[in-house]
Structure 1
Amino acid sequence: MRSSAARLVRDSSLAFLVLLFFALIPASARAADCSAGTLVTVVAHLDDDLLFVDPAISERLDAGWCITTVHLIGGANGANFAYVQTRERASRLAYARMAGVPDEWIETNIPVAGKLVHQMVLKAKPQVRLLELRLPGGAVRGGRVPLGLLWEQRATLSTYPMNADGSVRVQYDRASLSATLKAILAEASQIYTLNPDTVPFLEHPDHIYAARITRHVAQTLNKSVPIVYHVTYPTGDWPGNVPAAEVQRKRDIVASYFSIDGNESSHVFGEFQWDGNWVARRYAFADRSDHRIADFQQRPIRLFNAAANRCLTSAGSGHAPILAECTGSAAQQWRWDPLTVYPGNTQNAALVSVATSQCIAERDGYLISEACDQWDMAQRWTPWDFGLVYTPQRHCLGENDGKLTMRGCTALTTRYRWATTQHTQATDLRLATAMVGDIAGTGEASAVYVQRQHDGPGFNVYAASLVKASPPALWYASTVPFDPRATAPSCTNDALCFDSARFLLGDFDGNGKADLMVITARQGGTAFWLLRSTGERFEAPRLWLQTSSAFRPESTQQYVAADFNGAGRAGVLIAQKRTDSGLDLWLASSTNSAGTAPTLVAQAKALPQNVNLLPVQVPGSRASLVAVGAASGRLALTQIANDGTRMSVGERRLLPANFQPDFVKVTLGAVHGKASNTLILSTPHFDGATDDAVIDIATLDTADASSVPVQAATLRGMSWSDVFPFFVRDKRNAALVLYRRTDATLGNFYFTGGAPALTRYPVGDGFALGPAQELGELPGLFSETVRIDRLAQ
């Protein structure tokens, strides 16, 4: 009887709490239809979800899911409560933009597992919910890490206030935080979080602990839920992998956030700071919640130096590591093993060779491989901090004259920046910079390049002389206003935006002057916008061709401009990815004022989809193509002939093994006055010499099936990763032109730096290069003129 009465009291109390819980949830939130699924995203800070997880969140929202985003940390390290409120206001604006509705929210504090959590529900779309735990944050570069202390040292944390007036703080320990998070995760159909399998400060300590806590709690749900982990900081210099349209939308969302948090968005529309770089990237790995694993899983990495185009390599026990050609061998695999330290200690990891299981120590100013001892201060590194690697004696690891070096950590250039993978922006062969053509109709070529604008998603088009050093001229400006409070995307309808456009240069109207073509998605298909050259500028864009939905930029590997009909006007070849394999080649020809509907000229089923198509233009004749790509780990060449009505794909031939597909940039040129059928290959020099950065130049006659690449020239003092080569033949002479990045001093959060510059080398018989002619630095930043030219590499 007593037990029954007690049970009745207990059940009544529970019922009261349940009723109280639901009474505190706004009616709009309860009205949300979550039948499609519920995504719960758990991150540390109020921009982590926007920078590193989206567009995955947007995709679920578009599919009708309910989305709950949990921010564990309020503000940032040492921030006051006003900054917590600022970041939450910024997050609300960003999510309203993501949902495409006004920035109006219902805010309340709700009890979750006995703890008050600040909830924000979007009025016009109540399936969007933000939950703020408002825990104190740790520092990105060392210092106290409260979340780490809670999780590893069993500390108790006090949150920021839950009420706007600064009242009501909540206490959390490991058990209560786990219980609160478990109650939130219980509703999830899918879970997103950050990367638990790394060490501070490779990524922010708060990122790591937020992800580890989420994984640990998810494993206690007693059900199998998909869970996806997102890499954060290191992705800033990995190849962009978010489709163009989604990049454009995500940039709007992130810029809306930073219009409040920081009160400016220029670093988001640019790519000179990390926030801008992260927008185009989402790298993640998937698992399930019922997969029971430890809080931390070791994941070997590479340490790749883009300036040297080499990887850190173990030289064996008792020897210092070296820089060597990247081969993928075990000697180039490394681990950052966490050491027993107080959370927030910067010297928190050992650099361990996977091949030898030995640690790298710094003794008397030199590095040496030796048996690991976690208590030896000579083996305690700071693993990575926005690209910098700090040795145990607080030097910075870098490259000089092709060798591994250490120096003080001030006034550093990209020679001291490291990536955790060889596949980076520096080795992304899909990227393009300048286009070259006779835009003035004078018989002299100019370099035409596109520069991001900082106050919105538009771009500027500059033309620079390739004859003499002179300031470049602005030939066109596509200004697209950015309104941080808008609910519609900035880049819709006829707006021309940097991220969602591709560019071609060619004489499309046959008047002897090269014009600019801008290609965008429009009306479910593709729009080709012609900007005619007047000889002094590019005219306003006019629609040259609008295709049906059968042609979409997101399924087009590449666009190529050349005179494919022999009519004296450039047309556009569209290399469309097939659903089975290979490419379909379509041709949109030029009339006097417009383009014709695309016609199929080849079904290249055997051609790899990631090839680079280069036009072979013979004066007075029809252009053909050369396809360059990887096959069986080798660089391969395929001729594509053009008879005027059809194109025929020839046999693929492999080039010598020393031409590694990941480290070859190619261009075609009319060397020795012949047709433009000479392939020019630039590769980094890998013979182990102690010279400074060296680039090898080889030539290959593509018209001769028996020809092999011939070493033609060597360029010194420039990094291959910073150089984009072009061959120019005009009324003066022939020249090899390099559009390149100058090696400038970098700021703390800048991964790429330096201005663009042009260098011209006259080309003589046998491809003998004359003395370099420096045409000067160009305005802006090199990284902001780099753009995607092809979809797949």
Structure 2
Amino acid sequence: MRSSAARLVRDSSIAFLALLFFALLPGSARAANCGAGTLVTVVAHLDDDLLFVDPAISERLDAGWCITTVHLIGGANGADFAYVQTRERASRLAYARMAGVPDEWIETNIPIAGKLVHQMVLKAKPQVRLLELRLPGGAVRGGRVPLGLLWEQHATLSTYPMNADGSVRVQYDRAALSATLKAILAEASQIYTLNPDTVPFLEHPDHIYAARITRHVAQTLNKSVPIEYHITYPTGDWPANVPAAEVQRKRDIVASYFSVDGHEFAHVFGEFQWDGNWVARRYAFADRSDHRIADFQSRPIQLFNAATSRCLTAVGSDRTPTLAACTGSSAQQWRWDPLTVYPGNTRNAALVSVATSQCIAERDGYLTSETCDQWDIAQRWTPWDFGLVYTPLRHCLGENDGKLTVRGCTQLTTRYRWATTQHTQATDLRLATAMFGDIDGTGEQAAVYVQRQHDGPGFNVYAASLVKASRPALWYANIVPFDPRAMAPSCANDKLCFDSARFLLGDFDGDGKADLMVITARRGGTAFWLLRSTGDHFEAPRLWFQTGSAFKPELTQQYVAADFSGTGRVGVLIAQKRTDSGLDLWIASSTGSSGSAPKLMAQAKNLRQNANLLPVQVPGSRASLVALDSADGRLALTQIANDGTRMSIGERKLLLASFLPDFVKVTVGAVHGNTSNTLILLTPHLEETNEDAAIDIATLDTADATGVPVHAATLHGTSWSDVFPAFVRDKRNAELVLYRRTDATLGDFYFTGGAPALTRYPVGDGFALGAAQGLGELPGLFSETVRIDRLAQ
């Protein structure tokens, strides 16, 4: 004891002298100019800030702010001190990359409110500071949660060592931790933290307690500071909401981190499992520090089942809840209410209906709604962090044959995955997958899809036959190496990367073969890169056209490839968001070997900026457009005619109320020969049924101004969330082609997955569908071939 005390006095003295030294040292953290503001981010683990909060941190740093990031936890649950040091080394590398400077830091232990804290200051940019409290961590899915014990059970915690030689540990109780954190937050102009208003294990217990402690302490500052709370795990299958350029930068930062922590960064470049899921997402809710509220606020959620596109619905007392079409009604609002349990225990929450205030219990393997009793074991659920929901009897909640079901939690598919909102990847209508065209000039259509590369930001382009089941051919490999220690962005200098590119397919040079167009930001404008088809592969990219600064990808709702000139050469329509309302429609025509300057064809002020534009064309004519958008909760259609010199915007036509805008996937084609085009509308079959997942198909003749969608077919055994439709006509016949996700068995950490596959349905008169013809699974993962095609939906 005397030896430890002597070391503590010695190291405190050294820390004080070091602090004094750095205060006088030019370029130190104390010399940093924080006049623009100081952001203080408080998270649990050393990757939480990078995965869930950034790019908000990067944005403040770019704006000249000082940034202080506080990591409460050292290492992870049960980790040794060496792993704590590894994670800190990883965090230093990531923040150096974020700042664009060498990975060189000044490290010291500094006293804050009487406790030593490990401080790391970036030498070349001293406004970047990391503070490590090095508290022990808890388990993600049940087990001891030290931070919860400190906060709720008045425990005293001992930190990991403060010195590299393993000496000097610091003791924290609730009062000491509050005092230390208050001293750190006192300098904040803005506070970021995680989500306090949820329950384990929907999110990590350490995440929740870090956020609750931060909110509680912030309320004692006696000043009003904006504070934002970031949702963590559940966002992994929500729609991506980080702009493309920022996603690309964030992947670099996060991959640099994991090149040290785990020595494996490949998973970061995907959207299939854990860390990669969160790179393109940042979801937060805002408040102020002077808003005094309790440590926990119950927030209603939905429980959305992607396989059926339905929501869990309460139907009354003593009755089993069911799955029903999502309406947003109170019967589909739920709360996870925390139960009185020792921190870290499973079966820690009640599933409560907002409409009835009753709890869902499991008795003899069946679910029922009844009066809540927090001590009744039959009402104790375990929310799960990656989409699974464990019932009180340790079954898993899911769907089978269109009905709500519970079963054992092994060999589960996505039918047993739940989201806390219906706005998920499964309902993100901005997404696209395969493109279709005659790439070899034979008159037969092929599917072309872009696959993320697994070890960097590049992509591979595959072509798959629609004639027979055969292994797709690799038509182009776009390799972009990743260097975890580089300071420059991976995708600089005209490198083409998956996240920051959009893709089109069409015969741009008029030689009878469809080419690939890749569209990226470049030199303040937009670059169009043409990859010409040779008949058996795509050539290396060459610049087809470069716009000025008036055209930027981040302002372009959509790019559309079609023969708008009637010359046999495909051009590009640029649907640019207006500053007031609506869209400006520009066309960059093809001269054969390159593109021409965009020409303004229409100022569509009354068109919604989230419009989906589809080309309609009959042979020998100029392509026109049909636009689908939403108005007052209804799906609306607008005809856009093209006479070669201008485009004329028709009247908006509302479709039947049964076509919910969030649940319609659409394609278009010449179903009835070459004289007109037909919209093909796919919606999930939402009526309660005893059969498996199904899709309803309706058709609408775009030439019929008074027409209404007509039900044409129902596809059984296929989930709407898993398919992307296309109508294809070639020299042989017409087909409805579905690029789809196979229903894969998923592991604990997977939100989505499965292999991509192609299925075709021959189309006869009156849109009579022939038998499904499977063309087999395709190389790669389905989720790695899904990309954002439009900015808004």
Q: Same fold (TM over 0.5)?
A: yes
Residue type at the aligned position of 1:626 = V
Match of 1:758 in 2: 758
* Cα contact 2:403–2:689 (8 A) shared by 1: no
Deviation at 1:383, TM superposition (A): 1.6
Deviation by residue 1:389-426 (Cα, 9 ceiling, x = unmatched)? 00000000000000000111111100000000000000
Residue type at the aligned position of 2:130 = L
SS of match in other structure, 1:698: strand
Residues 509-528 of structure 1 mapped to structure 2, 5 A cutoff: 509-528=509-528
Instruction: Return the alpha-carbon distance in structure 2 between the equivalents of residues 311 and 775 of structure 1.
Output: 32
Instruction: Return the alpha-carbon distance in structure 2 between the equivalents of residues 20 and 789 of structure 1.
Output: 53
Residues 361-440 of structure 1 mapped to structure 2, 5 A cutoff: 361-440=361-440
* Cα contact 1:397–1:404 (8 A) shared by 2: yes
Instruction: Return the alpha-carbon distance in structure 2 between the equivalents of residues 449 and 601 of structure 1.
Output: 30
Please state if 1:332 is matched with 2:324.
no
Match of 1:87 in 2: 87
Please state if 1:500 is matched with 2:505.
no
Deviation at 1:567, TM superposition (A): 0.7
Deviation at 1:674, TM superposition (A): 3.0
Residue type at the aligned position of 2:406 = M
Deviation by residue 1:114-173 (Cα, 9 ceiling, x = unmatched)? 000000000110000000000000000010000000000000000000001100000000
Match of 1:22 in 2: 20
Instruction: Return the alpha-carbon distance in structure 1 between the equivalents of residues 723 and 187 of structure 2.
Output: 51
Residue type at the aligned position of 1:96 = A
Residues 245-264 of structure 1 mapped to structure 2, 5 A cutoff: 245-264=245-264
Instruction: Return the alpha-carbon distance in structure 2 between the equivalents of residues 442 and 490 of structure 1.
Output: 38
Match of 2:204 in 1: 204
* Cα contact 2:447–2:466 (8 A) shared by 1: yes
Instruction: Return the alpha-carbon distance in structure 2 between the equivalents of residues 214 and 140 of structure 1.
Output: 20
Deviation at 1:24, TM superposition (A): 6.1
Instruction: Return the alpha-carbon distance in structure 1 between the equivalents of residues 364 and 69 of structure 2.
Output: 49
Deviation at 1:384, TM superposition (A): 2.4
Instruction: Return the alpha-carbon distance in structure 1 between the equivalents of residues 762 and 102 of structure 2.
Output: 59
* Cα contact 1:25–1:110 (8 A) shared by 2: no
Match of 2:180 in 1: 180
Residues 211-610 of structure 1 mapped to structure 2, 5 A cutoff: 211-610=211-610
Match of 1:10 in 2: none
Match of 2:722 in 1: 722
Deviation at 1:341, TM superposition (A): 0.2
Instruction: Return the alpha-carbon distance in structure 2 between the equivalents of residues 85 and 647 of structure 1.
Output: 62
SS of match in other structure, 2:415: helix
Deviation at 1:493, TM superposition (A): 2.4
Residues 131-210 of structure 1 mapped to structure 2, 5 A cutoff: 131-210=131-210
SS of match in other structure, 1:94: helix
Deviation at 1:618, TM superposition (A): 1.4
Deviation by residue 1:249-276 (Cα, 9 ceiling, x = unmatched)? 0000000000111111111001111211
The verdict on how the C-alpha distance between 1:109 and 1:676 changes in structure 2, with shifts beyond 3 A counting, is farther
Residue type at the aligned position of 2:770 = G
Q: List gaps (5 residues or longer) in structure 2.
A: 1-11
SS of match in other structure, 1:399: strand
Residues 109-120 of structure 1 mapped to structure 2, 5 A cutoff: 109-120=109-120
Please state if 1:629 is matched with 2:626.
no
* Cα contact 1:273–1:750 (8 A) shared by 2: yes
* Cα contact 2:16–2:110 (8 A) shared by 1: no
Instruction: Return the alpha-carbon distance in structure 2 between the equivalents of residues 71 and 446 of structure 1.
Output: 51
* Cα contact 2:23–2:31 (8 A) shared by 1: no
**How many aligned positions are there?**
780
Match of 2:706 in 1: 706
Residue type at the aligned position of 1:82 = A
Residue type at the aligned position of 1:786 = V
Please state if 1:640 is matched with 2:667.
no
Residue type at the aligned position of 1:760 = R
Deviation by residue 1:359-408 (Cα, 9 ceiling, x = unmatched)? 00001111010000000000000022310000000000000000000111
Between 1:25-34 and 1:615-624, the stretch displaced more is: 25-34
Deviation by residue 1:284-311 (Cα, 9 ceiling, x = unmatched)? 0111111111101110000000001100
Residue type at the aligned position of 2:208 = I
* Cα contact 1:43–1:72 (8 A) shared by 2: yes
Instruction: Return the alpha-carbon distance in structure 2 between the equivalents of residues 340 and 366 of structure 1.
Output: 24
Deviation at 1:22, TM superposition (A): 3.4
Please state if 1:39 is matched with 2:39.
yes
Match of 2:7 in 1: none
* Cα contact 2:18–2:108 (8 A) shared by 1: no
Deviation at 1:492, TM superposition (A): 1.2
Match of 1:126 in 2: 126
* Cα contact 2:509–2:591 (8 A) shared by 1: yes
Deviation at 1:624, TM superposition (A): 0.2
Residues 34-113 of structure 1 mapped to structure 2, 5 A cutoff: 34-113=34-113
Instruction: Return the alpha-carbon distance in structure 2 between the equivalents of residues 15 and 321 of structure 1.
Output: 63
Deviation by residue 1:723-755 (Cα, 9 ceiling, x = unmatched)? 001001001100000000000110110111110
Instruction: Return the alpha-carbon distance in structure 1 between the equivalents of residues 572 and 518 of structure 2.
Output: 11
Match of 1:694 in 2: 694
Deviation by residue 1:60-90 (Cα, 9 ceiling, x = unmatched)? 0000000000000000000000100000000
Deviation by residue 1:630-652 (Cα, 9 ceiling, x = unmatched)? 11101110000001000010000
Match of 1:743 in 2: 743
Instruction: Return the alpha-carbon distance in structure 2 between the equivalents of residues 582 and 18 of structure 1.
Output: 60
Deviation at 1:672, TM superposition (A): 1.8
Residue type at the aligned position of 2:145 = V
Deviation by residue 1:215-242 (Cα, 9 ceiling, x = unmatched)? 0000101111111110000000000000
Deviation at 1:670, TM superposition (A): 0.7
SS of match in other structure, 2:29: helix
SS of match in other structure, 1:613: strand
Instruction: Return the alpha-carbon distance in structure 2 between the equivalents of residues 656 and 192 of structure 1.
Output: 44
Instruction: Return the alpha-carbon distance in structure 2 between the equivalents of residues 687 and 206 of structure 1.
Output: 41
SS of match in other structure, 2:454: coil
Residue type at the aligned position of 1:351 = L
Instruction: Return the alpha-carbon distance in structure 2 between the equivalents of residues 20 and 88 of structure 1.
Output: 20
Identity of aligned residues (%): 87
Deviation at 1:791, TM superposition (A): 0.1
Match of 1:5 in 2: none
Residue type at the aligned position of 2:72 = L
| Runs of 4+ with deviation above 2 angstroms | 14-27
Instruction: Return the alpha-carbon distance in structure 2 between the equivalents of residues 22 and 791 of structure 1.
Output: 51
The verdict on how the C-alpha distance between 1:727 and 1:665 changes in structure 2, with shifts beyond 3 A counting, is same
Match of 1:670 in 2: 670
SS of match in other structure, 1:91: helix
Instruction: Return the alpha-carbon distance in structure 2 between the equivalents of residues 541 and 674 of structure 1.
Output: 34
Between 1:14-23 and 1:242-251, the stretch displaced more is: 14-23
* Cα contact 2:66–2:128 (8 A) shared by 1: yes
Instruction: Return the alpha-carbon distance in structure 1 between the equivalents of residues 504 and 24 of structure 2.
Output: 53
Deviation at 1:100, TM superposition (A): 0.3
Instruction: Return the alpha-carbon distance in structure 1 between the equivalents of residues 767 and 274 of structure 2.
Output: 40
Instruction: Return the alpha-carbon distance in structure 2 between the equivalents of residues 678 and 184 of structure 1.
Output: 62
Match of 1:653 in 2: 653
Q: List gaps (5 residues or longer) in structure 1.
A: 1-13
Residue type at the aligned position of 2:279 = V
Residue type at the aligned position of 1:161 = P
Structure 2 length-normalised TM: 0.97
Between 1:452-461 and 1:20-29, the stretch displaced more is: 20-29
CA RMSD of aligned residues (A): 1.3
Deviation at 1:758, TM superposition (A): 0.2
* Cα contact 2:138–2:147 (8 A) shared by 1: yes
* Cα contact 1:242–1:281 (8 A) shared by 2: yes
Deviation at 1:16, TM superposition (A): 13
Instruction: Return the alpha-carbon distance in structure 2 between the equivalents of residues 221 and 347 of structure 1.
Output: 35
Instruction: Return the alpha-carbon distance in structure 2 between the equivalents of residues 151 and 471 of structure 1.
Output: 57
Match of 1:4 in 2: none
